A and B are shown apart, each in its own frame.
Chain A
Amino acid sequence: MLEVELLRAGYGPVEVVCGVSLRVGTGETVALVGSNGAGKSTLLRAVAGLVPLIGGTISFEGQRLDGLPPHRRLEMGLGYVPEGHPVFPFMTVQENLELGAMAPRARAHRRRNLDRVMELFPVLGRRRRALAGTLSGGEQRMLAIARGLVGEPRLLLLDEPSFGLAPLVLARIYRCLAEVGPSGVGLLLAEQHVARALSLARRGYVLSQGRVVLEGGSEELLGHPQVRRAYLGL
């Protein structure tokens, strides 16, 4: 579904991603792991259209994405959830979700999609009238993911869904993500939390200094001595 070939991207003269190739199949959950500064975020931002490419190509469902603005990519079914707390703080939870469902492809099924994510994240349903800025960090993260889902993506790029969360909250978010996978939505998950990400995904890529250094099935990667030493502390 998503094919990235020799992608190079960065900020100004600084190249952060230096020739990465990867692919995500339809409905597949793929992990993109690596330490802080490995280029994971930049890679996702480039795929989402927030960072211009220096070189390489991105195609989605057979179509080239070069130069398309982010909102056009969303219309094609490529969703993106930035890192941090990317919510609209002075709008209610409901408004936040509705904004995510504004894209033409999702507008028709808005009601159904909204109900579905509120089922997936019950806390959002309970607090739908609250301003998003008053939610806790974990709830804001859930809201951002939910907003990504109501856009009816065929592939959702998730940047660090676990970052800065308490273990319990993190576990809850990952349980929800595990439910998303089987519904046919593909996930590309950038994570520093290597064990978590690889336990959810079937395949993974290990990124270091802007390059893919390892790729393979999750079990295989979790058992790889290099991964165990560098990221799992074993």
Chain B
Amino acid sequence: MGKLQATLVFTEALINGVLVGGVYALVGTGMALVFGVMRFINLCHGELVMVGMYLGWGLFTVAGVDPCLSALICLPPLFWAGRGLYRLVVRPLERSREQSQVLLTLGLGLVLSNAALLIFSGDYLAVYTAYSDLVLKAGPLRVSVPYLLAFALACVFTLGVWAWLFLTAAGRSIRATAQHREAALAAGIDTGRVSSLTFGLGTALAGAAGCLLLPVYYLHPGIGGLLTGKAFVVVVLGGMGSCVGAALGGLLLGAAESLGAVYLSAAWKDAIGLLAFLLVLVLRPSGLVGRSRV
């Protein structure tokens, strides 16, 4: 009996971890795209996720829109906001030193999180839907319905991005730019437009992931830094710039955090990812999956 119980605990932790990991994968995919194509270090990716979360929360509170629907609704405005952001502040520094990119995006992150603080104050917010407390029972296993839904939608989004990257002309030129920038220029690809599209797409994915994270995380203005950290862990686990890698990295981080929370302590959850991040960077800089980019 004790052994059965232990197996159950393990399986549940693993399932929950993988479910959250699906959303991490979506967060990471946006960042991996931006890094893979533009070689641009975006330290405000988590704040962009936060913007998506506030949008989702606002839509739910004001109009009662379900966060899953909000994830779709906020794609176009955030795509265009991302393109605007690119035009305004990212493009001048796209080819500059890492220092400038890091400081710029940290500054942007401060602007976004402080704006959130001014508008929404520092309170912890959450979204309670009709199915928030629903639990799916499969035999002795119990799985949270909102987690399952978030996972399913994150998978749909991730697969959708892949399909777009592999099947459309614009997606193909994005992949080409990531694989060989000079050759892309020689092949007549407008790399400026590619960068703009990529940043817009990364921002939109961040926003969608934010809406999907609403059932998982409490929302507050300081959450951006935490999420940027997670995005980087995911991207580094998967090999910087690889989308497939980012997806696997997301699942891995989710599982590791969840198992860590059960077997070590919930408090150390965030440290596990960072330690993995450091170890992978030092021991296997090409990531766990390898170097196949975008």
Identify which of B50-58, B105-113, B173-181 touches chain A: B173-181
* A86-B180, A90-B293 known; A80+B186 contact, CB < 8 A: yes
Q: Lowest 10 A-B CB distances belong to which pairs?
A: A86-B183, A74-B188, A88-B179, A103-B188, A70-B185, A71-B188, A71-B190, A80-B186, A82-B182, A88-B176
Q: What 13 new A-B contacts, CB under 8 Å, besides A75-B188, A88-B176, A151-B188?
A: A48-B186, A70-B188, A71-B188, A74-B186, A82-B182, A86-B180, A88-B179, A89-B180, A91-B179, A95-B172, A99-B173, A99-B187, A102-B187
Cα(A152)–Cα(B16), bound, Å: 54
Is A91 touching B188 in the complex (CB atoms < 8 A)? no
* A69-B192, A91-B179 known; A50+B169 contact, CB < 8 A: no
Is A90 touching B175 in the complex (CB atoms < 8 A)? yes
Chain A residues positioned under 8 Å from B179 (CB to CB): 88-91
Min CB distance B200 to A, Å, is: 19
Closest to B182 in A: A82
B189 on the interface (CB 8 Å rule)?
Answer: yes
Cα(A102)–Cα(B180), bound, Å: 17
Chain A residues positioned under 8 Å from B186 (CB to CB): 48, 70, 74, 79-82, 86, 144, 147-148
* A90-B292, A91-B175 known; A100+B180 contact, CB < 8 A: no
**Chain A 181-201 interface 0/1 with B at a Cβ cutoff of 8 Å (1 = within):** 000000000000000000000
Min CB distance B198 to A, Å, is: 16
Chain B residues positioned under 8 Å from A9 (CB to CB): none
* A86-B180, A91-B176 known; A100+B292 contact, CB < 8 A: no
Min CB distance A174 to B, Å, is: 20
Chain B residues positioned under 8 Å from A74 (CB to CB): 186-188
Min CB distance A182 to B, Å, is: 24
Of A48, A71, A103, chain B has the most CB atoms within 10 Å of the CB of A71
Cα(A109)–Cα(B14), bound, Å: 54
**Chain A 121-150 interface 0/1 with B at a Cβ cutoff of 8 Å (1 = within):** 000000000000000000000001001100
**Chain A 155-170 interface 0/1 with B at a Cβ cutoff of 8 Å (1 = within):** 0000000000000000
**Chain B 153-196 interface 0/1 with A at a Cβ cutoff of 8 Å (1 = within):** 00000000000000001001101100110111111111010000
Task: Using CB atoms and an 8 Å cutoff, list the residues of chain A in contact with chain B.
Answer: 48-50, 69-71, 74-75, 79-82, 86-91, 95, 99-100, 102-103, 144, 147-148, 151
Cα(A34)–Cα(B16), bound, Å: 64
Q: How many contacts between A and B, using CB within 8 angstroms?
A: 71
Is B176 touching A86 in the complex (CB atoms < 8 A)? no
Chain A residues positioned under 8 Å from B185 (CB to CB): 48-50, 70-71, 80
Min CB distance B98 to A, Å, is: 18
Chain B residues positioned under 8 Å from A87 (CB to CB): 180, 183
Chain B residues positioned under 8 Å from A103 (CB to CB): 188
Closest to A144 in B: B183
Chain A residues positioned under 8 Å from B169 (CB to CB): 102
Cα(A90)–Cα(B172), bound, Å: 11
Cα(A80)–Cα(B189), bound, Å: 12
Among candidates A48, A88, A95, A151, residue contacting B180 with C-beta atoms closer than 8 Å: A88
Cα(A75)–Cα(B173), bound, Å: 16
Cα(A48)–Cα(B183), bound, Å: 12
Min CB distance A92 to B, Å, is: 11
Cα(A154)–Cα(B183), bound, Å: 19
Is A100 touching B175 in the complex (CB atoms < 8 A)? no
Chain A residues positioned under 8 Å from B293 (CB to CB): 90
Cα(A49)–Cα(B189), bound, Å: 13
Min CB distance B45 to A, Å, is: 24
Chain B residues positioned under 8 Å from A88 (CB to CB): 175-176, 179-180, 183-184
Instruction: Report 13 cross-chain contacts, Cβ distance below 8 Å, ordered by A residue.
Output: A50-B185, A69-B192, A70-B188, A71-B188, A74-B186, A74-B187, A82-B182, A88-B183, A90-B293, A91-B179, A99-B172, A99-B173, A151-B188
Among candidates A82, A99, A144, residue contacting B176 with C-beta atoms closer than 8 Å: A99
Chain B residues positioned under 8 Å from A48 (CB to CB): 185-186
Is B180 touching A69 in the complex (CB atoms < 8 A)? no
Min CB distance A105 to B, Å, is: 9
